[in-house]
Amino acid sequence: MPTDLPPKTAKPRGGKRHKQKGDAFERELADYMNGILFPKHPVKQIHRTPLSGAFSVHKGVGSADLTGTPFVWIEAKRVERLNFHDAIAQANRGSEACGRVDMPVVVNRRSRQSLEEATVILRLSDFMKFYYALLKSHGYAVGD
């Protein structure tokens, strides 16, 4: 058996098809958010970040998957099994590394799942900000 063969290297998981699926999900998510948040605005406010995803790194840190989302740093994941601790940590690192105080948010959609059924992952402290605002908007005496 020859011993001068190069060592085997692990194949990257997913590859081009996996990246295309993620890119398409980011565009679909941006369109969905624009349709709900800015339905009458003639110009899209939320966009997929060009070259976002696993292959985009700026100063050692990737960028958020969507732009035009003030106060939130969105990581869009199109995977069957998501390690949500790693995903929220990735969003948090990205926000902090860019010197922003955006709330880290992960949106995950599995195959054969509608966009409306996608899961949104937040830290509890961030969720409470939304819940507080919801209760207050419905007249509950919260925080008083």
For residue 22, what pLDDT is reported? 83
Q: Is the domain 15-137 a CATH 1.10.287 member?
A: no
Domain residues of the chain, as ranges?
Answer: 15-137
State the first-to-last Cα distance of the chain, in angstroms, to the nearest integer: 78
pLDDT at residue 129 greater than cutoff 60: yes
Mean pLDDT of the chain: 85
pLDDT at residue 11 greater than cutoff 50: no
- With bands split at pLDDT 50, 70 and 90, how would you rate the model's confidence at 107? very high
